[in-house]
Amino acid sequence: SQQGEEDPQALSIQEGENATMNCSYKTSINNLQWYRQNSGRGLVHLILIRSNEREKHSGRLRVTLDTSKKSSSLLITASRAADTASYFCATVLPTGTASKLTFGTGTRLQVML
Amino acid sequence: GAVVSQHPSRVICKSGTSVKIECRSLDFQATTMFWYRQFPKQSLMLMATSNEGSKATYEQGVEKDKFLINHASLTLSTLTVTSAHPEDSSFYICSARNRPPVAGYTFGSGTRLTVV
């Protein structure tokens, strides 16, 4: 299965600290995306990084991609209580017309006041 | 931005009945939509890819006669859980790919199905 593994499974930090989540996958990809899910809700797209990119920033988010290690990381800087959610990486394979997403196992982040 | 509306958000049904979940793209045309299933505290598992005007493509292990998908228009895909059983209780989410230059996919808000 292409499904990625994320670690840690759960992360609890204090507000203001940085949170780092890691994602590993198994096969070649076209791009990797990160999503956020609040409890009982749908997913929100955060950032997309293509296979030929190594790092990308968006606000307080920083994503890295290492295709040689088949891994990615998501860094949230200066975390806030509102960042509490589950975070998923998702990969898109390089071939095929459906461009379907395959999700990682997710990291549950709790940011405490 | 792109919006995907999913209804109902919650549904409780009796065993043996069927439940229909709708997923609409409100401000864009989605030729392809995706249906996922999510168990508590777990990841999303792709069930099927819904193609407008043609048959859905189901993932391995997903019963196509159990989970009927219809994508009759460019803005509407439906998932019908037929003859529901308690083990079908889950969170079902649809998504559609955004049109470039918008990256990523837009997800519906999900449907919590409880079969009693």
Structure confidence by residue, pLDDT tens digits, B18-28: 999 999 999 88
The Cα A54–Cα A63 span in angstroms is: 8
* Chain B residue closest in CA terms to A41: B109
Which pLDDT band holds residue B109 (cuts at 50, 70, 90)? very high
- Would the CB atoms of A88 and B109 count as touching at under 8 Å? no
Higher pLDDT, B98 or A62: A62
The Cα B102–Cα B116 span in angstroms is: 41
Lowest-pLDDT range of A94-108, B40-54, B102-116: A94-108
Q: State the 10-residue block means of pLDDT for chain A, 113 residues long.
A: 79 97 94 94 94 97 97 98 97 74 94 95
pLDDT of residue B98: 80
Picking from B75, B43, B80, B52, the residue whose alpha carbon sits closest to that of residue B64 is B80
pLDDT of residue B44: 94
Least CB–CB distance from B97: residue in A42, A99, A104: A99
- Would the CB atoms of B41 and A105 count as touching at under 8 Å? no
Which pLDDT band holds residue B76 (cuts at 50, 70, 90)? very high
Least CB–CB distance from B46: residue in A100, A106, A108: A100
pLDDT of residue B1: 67
pLDDT of residue B29: 84
Q: E-assigned strands of B15-110?
A: 19-25, 32-38, 44-51, 57-58, 67-73, 76-81, 90-97, 105-107
Residue B87 is which amino acid?
Answer: E
User: For residue A94, is the peptide bond before it cis, meaning its omega torsion is within 30 degrees of 0?
Assistant: no
Which pLDDT band holds residue B54 (cuts at 50, 70, 90)? confident
- Would the CB atoms of B42 and A103 count as touching at under 8 Å? no
Collect all residues with Cβ–Cβ distance below 8 Å to B77 and sequence separation of at least 6.
B22, B23, B30, B33, B35, B50, B52, B69, B70, B71, B94
- The mean per-residue pLDDT over the stretch B69-93 comes to 94
Residue whose token pair is 């996919």: B105
Q: Is B34 on the interface with A (CB under 8 A)?
A: yes
Give the 3-state secondary structure of residue B64: coil
The Cα A62–Cα A88 span in angstroms is: 14
Chain A residues near any Cβ of chain B (below 8 Å): 3, 33, 35, 40-45, 47-48, 88, 98-106, 108
pLDDT of residue B31: 82
Which pLDDT band holds residue B74 (cuts at 50, 70, 90)? confident
Chain A residues whose beta carbon lies within 8 Å of the beta carbon of residue B103: 33, 45, 47-48
Q: Is B57 on the interface with A (CB under 8 A)?
A: yes
**How far lies B12's CA from each of A27, B20, B31, B113, in Å?**
39, 12, 30, 6
CA distance A3 to chain B (A): 9
Residue A39 carries which DSSP code? T
- The mean per-residue pLDDT over the stretch B66-78 comes to 92
Residue A28 phi/psi, 5° resolution?
Answer: -60, 150
pLDDT of residue A54: 98
